[in-house]
Amino acid sequence: MEFSKNNTNFAKSIMTTDTFVKQKAIRVKDDSGEYTIAGVAKGAGMIHPDMATMLCFITTDADIEKNYLKTALKRATDCAFNMITVDGDTSPSDTVIVIANGLAKNEIIKNGTGNGFQKALSELCIFLAKCIAKDGEGATKLVEVHIEGAAAIGDARLASRIVANSPLVKTAIHGNDPNWGRIIVAIGRSGAEIIENKVDLYLNGVCVMKQGKPIDFNKKSLSKNMADNKTTTIHVNLNIRNGSATAWGCDLSKEYVTINSAYTT
């Protein structure tokens, strides 16, 4: 489902360095009835957990209990807008708002009903969050960092965000360099619990480290693979317990420097 032309123009009018409109609508059919959730977001630079600088407005015609809606938005934001980074910088103007008007006349959603709402809201927020990361100032690629097997979910969140925000990882990806060393070092400084000889690391699905030992992979071919894909995926299994999280970021290009050092009196 697409926004109308007028809505797209509104979205364009609130963009600054954004290069494309970030919007999505999801039609949900669940045990409470049928309703729609739609969202539009803005943001490209000064992006870092938690959120800044971005705006996101979500509307739904679902009939939903206020506290349930609040909790659902917090959950969705935590695994979406709070897991993206462009440059590590933040600003005071972060906003994610959801408004529900109940016009869908579904059975009111609260704990135990409307089982599709949280799933759809999280999907919508993750979609918009990934759009922001992908549209990072000067970015040529979306970077997805998935950490699993962490000692706790907090460790997985921390490590994935540190990797996604590392200038050295970001520049390596910009240069299509399958530089697993920079990734491991970023995880190492994150503070997450690590058992060195347990770490498995995959780059765009290719295993480059198994149980802490570098695997002899074809660098040239993996570099070409990275060059050919608009998304670079970093997948790490710490093989400790079952904490997992995903963070999104982008590569660091000369264009980022150009955009942010341009100055005219």
Give the pair of three-digit tokens for residue 36: 């729609």
Query: Minimum Å distance from CB 137 to a copy of itself?
Result: 10
Q: Under the criterion CB under 8 A, does residue 102 sit at the interface with a copy of itself?
A: no
- For residue 89, cis peptide bond before it (omega within 30 degrees of 0): no
Q: Are 196 and 185 in contact (CB under 8 A)?
A: no
Q: In Å, what is the CA distance from 97 to each residue of 58, 82, 94? A: 6, 14, 10
Q: How far is the CB of 177 from a copy of itself (least distance, A)?
A: 3
Beta carbons within 8 Å of 180's beta carbon, 6+ residues apart? 201, 203, 208, 209, 214
Q: Is 91 a residue that touches a copy of itself (CB under 8 A)?
A: yes
DSSP string across 59-84: EE---B-HHHHHHHHHHHHHTTGGGB
Catalytic residue among 19, 53, 95, 246: 53
Least distance (Å) between residue 150 CB and a copy of itself: 20
**For residues 166 and 246, which CB has a smaller minimum distance to a copy of itself in the complex?**
166
Evaluate the CA torsion angle 44, 183, 230, 244 in order and state its sign. Answer: negative
Query: Which neighbouring-strand residues pair with 41?
Result: 22, 56
Residue 233 lies near a copy of itself (rule: CB under 8 A): no
Question: Going residue by residue from 149 to 188, which x/- string records binding to a copy of itself, judged by CB under 8 A?
Answer: ----------------xxxx--xx-xxxx-x--x--xx-x
Verify whether residue 71 is a known catalytic residue. no
Residues catalogued as catalytic: 53
* Binding footprint of a copy of itself on the chain (CB under 8 A): 45-46, 52, 87-92, 165-168, 171-172, 174-177, 179, 182, 185-186, 188-189, 219-220, 223, 252-254, 256-263, 265
